[in-house]
Amino acid sequence: MFTKECPRCNRTLPVSEFNGRPNPDWGKRYNHKTPIWTDTRCRDCTKAVTKLRIKVMKARREGRLKAPDRCSHCQQIGRIHGHHEDYYKPFDIIWLCVSCHSNVHHGNITLNA
Ligand SMILES: [Zn+2]
Ligand SMILES: [Zn+2]
Ligand SMILES: [Zn+2]
């Protein structure tokens, strides 16, 4: 039985609790632990995130939520993403440019809360 830890809820769950598809590289180049690729987050968390995205999108469409034109990390002006540190707080949003946003998710930068 393969298990995986969900970084969102910190539970260790069987991989069947994650959305997954066959891992074509299993046993090959990398030392992948499981024979399937899975979403990082468990199914429950994925659901929570999807719900939240819809909420935020709706709020933005209705003008209740306005994205600034500047990244709150590097102050660059451009396309701004809403980043959530906590998906259960849909309106606690950190506005980041595309590159800072991916850096945050890859652990290259940390945001001081
Ligand atoms: Zn989870
Ligand atoms: Zn930035
Ligand atoms: Zn994010």
Residue 64 structure tokens: 């209740």
Confidence at residue 29, expressed as pLDDT on a 0 to 100 scale:
61
Distance 64 CA to ligand 2 centre (A): 23
**Residues 8 and 59 both lie in one domain:** yes
Residues belonging to the chain: 113
Distance 62 CA to ligand 1 centre (A): 30
pLDDT at 66: 87
**Residue 23: is its pLDDT beyond 90?**
no
And the tokens for 3?
């298990």
| pLDDT tens readout for residues 36-92 | 777 788 999 889 888 888 988 899 899 998 889 999 999 999 999 988 887 777 788
**Ligand 2 center to residue 68 CA distance, Å?**
12
Domain that holds residue 15: 1-65
- At 30 the pLDDT is 58
Number of domains in the chain: 2
- For residue 24, give Cα distances in angstroms to 1, 4, 32, 90: 19, 18, 10, 35
5 pLDDT higher than 70: yes
What amino acid is encoded at 8 in this protein? R
CA of 77 to the centre of ligand 1 (A): 33
Residues with CB under 5 A from ligand 3 (ion): 83
Q: Examine the domain organization and report whether 60 and 17 are in the same domain.
A: yes
